[in-house]
Structure 1
Amino acid sequence: MQSWFAVVTKPRAEAIAFDNLQRQGYTCLWPRVRRSLRDAKGMRERVECLFPSYLFLRADPETESLAPVRSTRGALGLVRFGSLPARVPEAVIEQIRARLDPGDGTVRLDAPTWAPGTKVRISEGPLSGIAAIFLAEEAGDRVRMLIELLGTAREVVLPRLQVAARI
């Protein structure tokens, strides 16, 4: 019976391992995510690995050998518990596949939803590290927060990407 396995890859060699494993006839899944990053030229979108240094492989270890995986260019081997390769539950793979964008194949990660009054932490930007209270959603993927700054409570509007999960 076919199962999913996690493959450990060399750092930043997921694409090489993915291509080489597929050439060997394995069914593979390499989940990537689109992320907005700020650099010197402004905001840019990058496609990054959802799980850096890992990808998933589907095989039937009863009928096909998994030994070639560890000698595949870009791959280090399978994740193992003792001597047995660790199986990834089918439900995990289905959750990832359900979020795949049909256009570019990246995984869509839904922004967390917070109820008004939820305590969060600002993770990026000039207010990084400051605790805040979520007030409301704003247009254009922005959020309204209440922060304490210089001894007084202030409302600020920030990009949602700059706010981390709950405290």
Structure 2
Amino acid sequence: MAMEPGSRWYVVQTQVNAEVKAAAGLVRQGFGTYLPRYQKRRSHARKVELVPRPLFPRYLFVAIDVAAQRWRAIQSTLGVSHLVCVGDRPAAVEHGVIDALKSREDEAGFVALARRPAFSPGDKVRIVEGAFVDSLALVEDVSDQHRVAVLLNLLGRQVRVFVGTGLITAA
């Protein structure tokens, strides 16, 4: 929904996994909303798929004309936890933030995220998810843009493990 003249963007915190439900309830009440989403790569049972996920889990933006709209109704909207406020007034988002997010959207409306830095053999990395979480490793080989062979020190010897690039970060 387009933003009305006199409106500004504000932040709404939603209940867990209720961003879409909260946005729909706010639109029904006549508020403009913006829920930036991105495509997350998910691997499950040897199948890789892209699934839409909120860019800011549990948050969405709502356009409000504070002088003309009954913004307190937002607090009781289904899926909404609360409107982010400073004192007793809603906290406005700085000008340009929403436009900057929208400018990064692709043709399908998803925010394009920056590619992860490429890893090279010899780089020290930390595993951030999975069975070896918080383990330090050394990059041995980069098989493609999604998988990396790393060497882990396990029981006094180096063991080669293949991990997704999304599961490691520079150490």
The TM-score bracket by the shorter chain reads 0.7 to 0.9
Q: 1:113 aligns with which of 111, 114, 117?
A: 117
8 A contact 1:114–1:134 mirrored in 2: no
Identity %: 31
Q: Per the alignment, in what secondary structure is the counterpart of residue 102 of structure 2?
A: helix
Q: 1:89 aligns with which of 88, 94, 97?
A: 94
Deviation digits for residues 84-110 of structure 1 (CA, Å, limit 9, x no counterpart):
21112233323322222222x222222
Q: Give the TM-score normalised by structure 2.
A: 0.74
Aligned length: 165
Q: Give the TM-score normalised by structure 1.
A: 0.76
Correspondences of 1:47-58 after superposition (within 5 Å): 47-58=52-63
Distance in 2 separating the partners of 1:130 and 1:73: 41
Distance in 1 separating the partners of 2:152 and 2:139: 9
> Cα 1:158–1:73, aligned 2, differ >3 Å: closer, same or farther?
closer
Correspondences of 1:11-160 after superposition (within 5 Å): 11-40=16-45, 42-103=47-108, 105-113=109-117, 116=120, 118-134=123-139, 138-143=143-148, 145=150, 147-149=152-154, 151=156, 158-160=163-165
Q: Which runs of 5+ in 1 are unaligned?
A: none
Q: Per the alignment, in what secondary structure is the counterpart of residue 30 of structure 2?
A: coil
Q: Which region of structure 1 is more displaced relative to structure 2, 144-153 or 71-80?
A: 144-153
8 A contact 2:11–2:91 mirrored in 1: yes
The one-letter code sitting in structure 1 at the alignment partner of 2:67 is E
Compute the RMSD of aligned alpha carbons: 2.9
